[in-house]
């Protein structure tokens, strides 16, 4: 099972359905699914970083403990260079441009998902849905190039341990 | 997500306008709409909607290029000290 990749493929499919008159449901679900694809990509790696020796079922359980708001907070800190020194010292410097790009896309897609799912006053169009899917796809590609780096490791464990790391010296 | 101290919307709007003046938009983009409000979690934000020119359909390559341009634009705003978080989207002009 590769849930993140499957979700991304599904998002792509939804963004291209109904060529002449796309349904709002398809376009909105494309955006929402693109966000969840990236969410699952990052939280699967975070669970792996924190529980490498765990059985898959235990890792999936660990993965459920990640919180959307907390990850957004962490992404904002990495993206905007507002990491506490205790965390910055773990990665040796400010976050790389690639990691900031992934963090930025996560924040943007989370907000887009919220609008797509709940803001029925806005009209969702195909360009928007396709760009959201492309944003997720680009984040996937970038993440693949940095996921084994120390900064990515600190980024991932911060999803769960940010407050602990923030207060450590 | 923490933001730096929030300045009046007008100051942030000036930063956005200044960068727009200095930047060449991709040829597919007609103009950019701005909206200042809070995001879904209550954080002050600016929403930048890049409006596609009428009847433009982007292929994958162009979509990637435009998407990356929008991201770079937003990240430049943050580097220039924008106090609100810039959210970008691509939209079809109505």
Interface ipTM: 0.92
Mean model confidence pLDDT for chain A: 94
A168 vs A149 pLDDT, higher one: A149
The pLDDT of A106-111, averaged and rounded, is 98
Structural domain boundaries enclosing A124:
3-167
Work out how many domains chain A is built from and give that number.
Answer: 1
A38 touches chain B (CB under 8 A): no
DSSP string, A34-91: HHHHHHHHHHHHHHHHH-TTS-HHHHHHHHTT--HHHHHHHHHHHHTT---HHHHHHH
Question: Virtual CA dihedral for A80, A83, A87, A89, nearest 10 degrees?
Answer: 80
Per-residue model confidence (pLDDT) at position A84: 85
A 80-109 near B (Cβ less than 8 A): 80, 82, 100-101, 104-105, 107-108
Least Cα separation, residue B87 to chain A (angstroms): 6
List the single residue in A with minimal CA-CA distance to B81. Answer: A80
State whether A104 and B75 contact (CB < 8 Å): yes
In whole angstroms, give the CA distance from residue A106 to residue A76: 9
State whether A112 and B89 contact (CB < 8 Å): yes
pLDDT of A50 above 60:
yes
List the single residue in B with minimal CA-CA distance to A115. Answer: B40
Q: Give pLDDT tens digits for A80-102.
A: 888 888 888 888 878 999 999 99
Quick one: which of A164, A7, A169 has its CA closest to A70?
A: A164
The pLDDT of B68-76, averaged and rounded, is 97
In whole angstroms, give the CA distance from residue B90 to residue B63: 10
pLDDT of A59 above 70:
yes
Query: What is residue B41's three-state secondary structure?
Result: coil
State whether B92 and A127 contact (CB < 8 Å): yes
Task: Tell me the two tokens of residue A139.
Answer: 């984040």
pLDDT of A16 above 80:
yes
Per-residue model confidence (pLDDT) at position B83: 94
B3 vs B18 pLDDT, higher one: B18
- Residues from chain B that touch A132, judged by Cβ atoms under 8 A, are 89
In whole angstroms, give the CA distance from residue A154 to residue A148: 11
CB B56 within 8 A of CB B44: no
- CB proximity list for A102: less than 8 A, separation 6 or greater: A42, A75, A139, A142, A143, A146
Least confident stretch, A60-69, A84-93, A129-138: A84-93
For residue B6, give the DSSP letter: P
CB B53 within 8 A of CB A120: no
Helix or strand (DSSP H, E) at B87: strand B85-92
Per-residue model confidence (pLDDT) at position B38: 95
């Amino acid at each position: 099972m590769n849930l993140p990749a499957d979700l991304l493929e599904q998002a792509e499919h939804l963004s291209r359905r109904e060529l002449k008159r796309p349904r709002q449901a398809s376009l909105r679900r494309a955006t929402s699914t693109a966000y969840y694809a990236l969410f699952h990509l990052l939280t699967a790696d975070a669970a792996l970083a924190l529980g490498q020796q765990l059985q898959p079922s235990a890792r999936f359980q660990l993965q459920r403990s990640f919180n959307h708001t907390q990850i957004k907070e962490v992404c904002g800190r990495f993206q905007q260079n507002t990491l506490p020194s205790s965390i910055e010292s773990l990665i040796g410097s400010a976050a790389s441009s690639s990691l900031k790009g992934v963090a930025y896309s996560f924040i943007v897609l989370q907000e887009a998902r919220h609008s797509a799912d709940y803001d029925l006053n806005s009209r969702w169009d195909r360009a928007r849905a396709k760009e959201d899917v492309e944003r997720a796809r680009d984040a996937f590609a970038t993440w693949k190039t940095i996921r084994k780096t120390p900064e990515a490791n600190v980024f991932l464990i911060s999803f769960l341990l940010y407050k602990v790391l923030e207060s450590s010296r | 997500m923490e933001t730096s101290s929030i300045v009046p919307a007008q100051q942030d709007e000036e930063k956005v306008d200044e960068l727009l003046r200095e930047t060449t938009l991709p040829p597919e983009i007609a103009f950019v709409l701005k909206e200042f409000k809070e995001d879904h979690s209550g954080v002050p934000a600016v929403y930048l909607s890049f409006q596609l020119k009428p009847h433009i359909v982007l292929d994958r390559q162009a979509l990637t290029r435009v998407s990356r341009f929008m991201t770079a634009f937003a990240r430049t705003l943050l580097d220039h000290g924008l106090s609100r978080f810039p959210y970008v989207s691509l939209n079809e002009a109505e």
